[in-house]
């Protein structure tokens, strides 16, 4: 039936608006932010430069970057009311729910006020999200109240410092930097579209981001990096990986971390994070997870012509840096908040409420029966 097909088609391939922020699957290596190719950004700039680019449409010069980083650094501390809320969230909560609550609560105590305060609110979220996540994590898991203000130069290093209690190595800080760049923006994906729909009602920026976090949480979107880790962690070696995958494919199960709604042959982010995963595996001195990941990639291409998306090799890379699996998707939030909020500003600048229609598939018009006749 036509109606079923439409619903099941997930609006695939339909243009739902305009953006000057990003192209997916169209130019260069397949992904650009404000005209810059992802492979060049990943090689040459910091995540903070990308965050600035998305917020202001141009890369910062040296003094703009220094000021921007100083502003972000100065906003890593958390108000005591927010810490109180975080301390009440149980250890078995999902960290994505913690970030969702943290973001929403920030909107209560530091509201955007009016749209002219958007940039201030965006910088605050970007600076505070790692602190929110790890204040809760360390309090609920280790029973410690950590100091969330650190002197680390980058958001990636700040995150690792709060997690491990010590400054990360140069290698780990560099991997985090690249990872945050790769995840920063991706056009009209589900969570960004959620943010834009919310923005189109002229809602506040914390509501837009809170909704986007909820969309990102699912395993078909951001949650795929955690699901990929759960898949590969039990694989003993490459042959075991092949056997497991063949069984899953035979049972028509989905393999998380593979396939993409827009890319059809490869995900340009994969080569970048795969190379870092290899470096980390060599440093770690145990290549099992890397080897099983490579075999998964081979099997999926051979059997289904499916390729790893950005999430698949992120799983092993994060694991090698000692990051607990349940913190994988929240890292995505720490990065994607830049893309979401850039889209919110873009939507506001040329807004019309997003309100599509549906094809009706329900019963014919009928009369309401009396309660004793139902």
Closest contact distance (angstroms) between CB of 285 and ligand COA is 28
Contact flag: residue 185 with ligand COA (CB under 6 A): no
Residue nearest to ligand COA (CB): 259
DSSP H/E element including 37 = strand 36-37
Site of tokens 């243009």: 15
Kindly indicate which of the ranges 58-66, 135-143, 251-259, 288-296 contains the residues binding ligand COA, using the contact rule CB under 6 A: 251-259
Contact flag: residue 78 with ligand COA (CB under 6 A): no
Yes or no: say if 185 and 54 are a contact pair by the CB < 8 Å rule: yes
Contact flag: residue 174 with ligand COA (CB under 6 A): no
Side-chain-side CA neighbours of residue 126 (13 Å): 34
Task: Name the strands in the sheet holding 31-33, side by side, starting at the edge strand that comes first in the sequence.
Answer: 22-24, 31-33, 36-37
Kindly indicate which of the ranges 82-90, 126-134, 159-167, 301-309 contains the residues binding ligand COA, using the contact rule CB under 6 A: 301-309
Compare residues 123 and 187 and give the one whose CB is closer to ligand COA: 187
Q: How many residues lie near ligand COA (CB under 6 A)?
A: 17
Distance CA 201, CA 369 (A): 37
Catalytic residue, chosen from 186, 204, 311, 314, is 311
Catalytic residue, chosen from 260, 314, 319, 343, is 260
Three-class DSSP category at 31: strand
Compare residues 136 and 328 and give the one whose CB is closer to ligand COA: 328
Contact flag: residue 65 with ligand COA (CB under 6 A): no
Q: Where are the alpha helices (DSSP H) in the chain?
A: 2-9, 38-44, 47-56, 62-73, 80-87, 95-109, 118-142, 155-164, 170-183, 190-200, 205-216, 224-232, 238-250, 268-284, 288-304, 310-320, 328-349
Contact flag: residue 309 with ligand COA (CB under 6 A): yes
Binder to ligand COA among 185, 187, 311, 346 (CB under 6 A)? 311
Closest contact distance (angstroms) between CB of 350 and ligand COA is 27
Paired residues of 33 in beta bridges: 22, 36
Contact flag: residue 188 with ligand COA (CB under 6 A): no
Please provide residue 292's backbone torsions phi and psi, each rounded to the nearest 5 degrees. -65, -35
Compare residues 228 and 342 and give the one whose CB is closer to ligand COA: 228
Look up 311 and say whether it is catalytic.
yes
Distance CA 340, CA 187 (A): 9
Q: What is the DSSP letter of 264?
A: S
String marking each residue 7-36 x if it binds ligand COA according to CB under 6 A: -----x------------------------
Compare residues 146 and 261 and give the one whose CB is closer to ligand COA: 261
Site of tokens 């780990």: 172
Distance CA 212, CA 127 (A): 18
Site of tokens 């994060």: 318
Yes or no: say if 96 and 74 are a contact pair by the CB < 8 Å rule: no
Contact flag: residue 261 with ligand COA (CB under 6 A): yes
Tokens of 345: 């500003």
Contact flag: residue 260 with ligand COA (CB under 6 A): yes
Binder to ligand COA among 50, 121, 306, 334 (CB under 6 A)? 306
Contact flag: residue 336 with ligand COA (CB under 6 A): no
Binder to ligand COA among 22, 205, 224, 327 (CB under 6 A)? 224
Binder to ligand COA among 70, 202, 220, 246 (CB under 6 A)? 220
Kindly indicate which of the ranges 77-85, 93-101, 138-146, 248-256 contains the residues binding ligand COA, using the contact rule CB under 6 A: 248-256
Yes or no: say if 162 and 146 are a contact pair by the CB < 8 Å rule: yes
Look up 240 and say whether it is catalytic.
no
Q: What is the DSSP letter of 111?
A: -
Compare residues 55 and 245 and give the one whose CB is closer to ligand COA: 245
Yes or no: say if 277 and 320 are a contact pair by the CB < 8 Å rule: yes
Catalytically active residues are 260, 311
The residues binding ligand COA (CB under 6 A) are 12, 220-221, 224, 254-261, 304, 306, 309-311
């Amino acid at each position: 039936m036509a109606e079923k097909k439409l619903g099941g088609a997930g609006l695939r391939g339909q243009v739902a608006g305009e953006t000057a922020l990003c192209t997916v699957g169209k130019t260069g290596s397949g992904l650009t932010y404000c005209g810059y190719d992802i492979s060049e950004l990943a090689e040459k700039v910091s995540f903070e430069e990308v965050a600035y680019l998305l917020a202001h449409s141009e890369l910062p010069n040296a003094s703009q970057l220094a000021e921007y980083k100083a502003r972000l650094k100065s906003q890593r501390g958390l108000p005591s009311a927010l810490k109180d809320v975080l301390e009440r969230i149980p250890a078995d909560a999902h960290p994505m729910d913690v970030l969702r609550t943290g973001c929403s609560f920030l909107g209560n105590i530091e509201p955007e006020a009016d749209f002219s305060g958007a940039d201030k609110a965006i910088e605050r979220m970007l600076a505070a999200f790692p602190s929110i996540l790890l204040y809760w994590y360390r309090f609920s898991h280790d029973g410690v109240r950590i100091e969330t203000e650190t002197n680390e130069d980058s958001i990636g290093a700040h995150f690792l410092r709060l997690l491990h209690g010590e400054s990360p190595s140069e290698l780990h800080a560099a991997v985090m930097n690249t990872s945050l760049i790769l995840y920063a923006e991706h056009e009209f994906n589900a969570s960004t579209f959620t943010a834009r729909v919310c923005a189109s009602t002229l809602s506040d920026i914390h509501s837009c981001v809170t909704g986007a976090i909820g969309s990102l949480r699912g395993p078909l979107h951001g949650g795929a990096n955690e699901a990929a880790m759960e898949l590969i962690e039990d694989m003993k070696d490459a042959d075991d990986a092949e056997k497991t995958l063949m069984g899953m494919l035979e049972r028509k199960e989905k393999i998380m971390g593979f396939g993409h709604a827009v890319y059809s042959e490869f995900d340009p982010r994969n080569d970048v994070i795969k190379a870092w995963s290899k470096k980390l595996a060599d440093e770690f001195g145990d290549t099992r997870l890397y080897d099983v990941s490579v075999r998964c990639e081979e099997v999926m291409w051979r059997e289904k012509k499916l390729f790893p998306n950005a999430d698949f090799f992120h799983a092993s890379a994060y694991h090698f840096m000692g990051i607990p699996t349940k913190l994988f998707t929240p890292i995505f939030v720490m990065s994607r908040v830049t893309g979401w909020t850039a889209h919110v500003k873009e939507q506001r600048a040329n807004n019309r409420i997003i309100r599509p229609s549906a094809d009706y598939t329900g019963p014919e018009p009928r009369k309401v029966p009396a309660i004793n006749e139902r």
